[in-house]
Amino acid sequence: MARVAVEIPEELRRELAVHLFREGRLSFGRARELAGMTAWAFQVLLGSGGVPVYCGPREYDEDLATLKVAGRR
């Protein structure tokens, strides 16, 4: 079966990122990447939707791994 590349609209990516973060299926860092936003902008987006930001040990480790891959740590 061939895969088809589909361009997902920015607004839909952001809504999906917020939903998956709210459900605990993505860490803050992974959701932010999906949304294509800076950490600050994504936090503001979450706050405007009333989504609390909690960073536990698992989320911290995932975000740290993301930074290492990006060469920022």
The pLDDT value given to residue 55: 67
Tell me the pTM. Answer: 0.66
Q: Which residue has the tokens 């949304």?
A: 35
Which residues in 1-34 are b (16+ Cβ under 10 Å) and which e? eeeeeeeeeeeebbeebbebbeeeebbbbbbbbb
Residue 71 has pLDDT above 90, yes or no: no
Tokens found for residue 36: 């294509």
Give the model confidence (pLDDT) of 12-69 as tens digits: 999 999 999 999 899 889 999 999 999 989 999 999 988 887 667 877 788 788 888 8
28/7 Cα distance (integer angstroms):
23
